[in-house]
Amino acid sequence: MMTRKLFALTILTFKEGVRDRALFGIGLFSLLLMAGSIVVVSMFMRELHKVTVDINLSAITFAGLLLSFFVSINLMSKDIDRYTIYSVLSKPFSRSQYIWGKYLGIMLLIVTAMGILTFCSSLAIWFTKSQYSLYFQGFSWMEFYKAVYAELLMFFLLNALIVFFSTITTSSFITLLFSISTYIAGQTIEEVVLFLKTKHAAEIFMSEGINTIIGIVQYILPNLSVFDLKLQSAHAITISWDYLAAVTGYSIVYSIVLLIMASLIFNKRELR
């Protein structure tokens, strides 16, 4: 029964997302970028496979980010902004089910969009590969798909964050700000921590308090850079299955924590 309710909400959110016109703009932009990669690679010396993979993976990621920041946030806030949440919650759904259903619907949308884009980018790579086969000896389809999978895991987590933020804020703009800030911080926190461990950083005066705060923050913030395998994939460096299993676990557990917290907050939230 609960699964059926969740499924219904998931499909409803997915259909709502598909109707968003921004989706087509994002898709078109990414497809143009992928097609552009065929032309751009001819300007490089010999690592054409690296450039092709770089551009295609970046296009997929960029499209996923635009989808998350604009379509997902819109899907989350629309019900509250337009008061349609009352009609949804008047049905036999609990607030927790609403949160999980919304999240799963958004993820279905992202998985579908990424699936289509991955297929298109595979075509673009295949075409470039057939044109410059001599310069594609260092290319690996397997590593390419592993990088796409890791990006998808990042979107699992990022969208869980978006759902979480939309339950604690009252405006979609603030959700957007929080989400973008957390994304940037999540992508750079690893580098900041690594920098602080270098000799160079030891010369910079930094109070003990700031060091402690950074130490705590690195455990609270999601480390999104662990999902970035674009460089490894571009150079066909083998990514171990162990690593993929670890990032899968990380993404799922972190997302579940965020969604449980979002459910708890949303249960207590007063809707006006």
Q: Give the CA radius of gyration of the chain.
A: 21
Distance, in Å, from the CA atom of 96 to the CA atom of 104, rounded to the nearest integer, reads: 12
The residue within the footprint of other proteins, chosen from 84, 212, 225, 238 (CB under 8 A), is 225
**Is 224 or 259 the residue whose CB approaches other proteins more closely?**
224
Dig out the tokens for 187 from the structure: 């992508």
Q: Which range in 184-192, 208-216, 242-250, 261-269 contacts other proteins by CB under 8 A?
A: 184-192
Q: Give residue 252's identity as a one-letter amino acid code.
A: I
Task: Kindly tell me which residue out of 95, 102, 146, 230 binds other proteins, with binding defined by CB under 8 A.
Answer: 230
Q: Contact region for other proteins (CB under 8 A) — 112-120, 205-213, 233-241, 256-264?
A: 233-241
Q: Which is nearer to other proteins, 160 or 234 (CB)?
A: 234
Closest contact distance (angstroms) between CB of 167 and other proteins is 26
Q: Does 184 bind other proteins (CB under 8 A)?
A: yes
Sign, CA torsion 23/59/249/174: negative
Residues of this chain, 7-66, that bind other proteins according to CB under 8 A: 40, 42-48, 50-51, 53-55, 57-58, 61-62
Residue closer to other proteins (CB basis): 48 or 109:
48
Q: Which of 187, 244, 250, 264 binds other proteins (CB under 8 A)?
A: 187
Residue of 126, 129, 138, 120 whose CA lies nearest to 33:
120
Q: Which of 123, 192, 216, 257 binds other proteins (CB under 8 A)?
A: 192
CB of 234 to other proteins, least distance (A): 5
Q: What are phi and psi of 222, to 5 degrees?
A: -70, 135
Give the footprint of other proteins on residues 67-126 (CB under 8 A): none
Q: Which of 35, 235, 248, 252 binds other proteins (CB under 8 A)?
A: 235
Q: Residue 89 is which amino acid?
A: L
Could you tell me the smallest distance in angstroms from the CB atom of residue 266 to other proteins?
A: 30
Give 143-192 as a DSSP string.
Answer: HHHHHHHHHHHHHHHHHHHHHHHHHH-S-HHHHHHHHHHHHHHHHHHHHH
Determine the interface stretch with other proteins among 83-91, 105-113, 190-198, 247-255 (rule: CB under 8 A). Answer: 190-198
Rounded Cα–Cα distance for residues 111 and 65 (Å):
13
Q: DSSP per residue over 188-229, as a string?
A: HHHHHHHHHTSHHHHTS---HHHHHHHHHHHHHS--GGGG--
Gap between the Cα atoms of 250 and 226, Å rounded: 10
Give me the residues that bind other proteins (CB under 8 A), please. Answer: 40, 42-48, 50-51, 53-55, 57-58, 61-62, 132, 134-135, 184, 187-188, 191-192, 195, 224-225, 227-228, 230-231, 234-235, 237
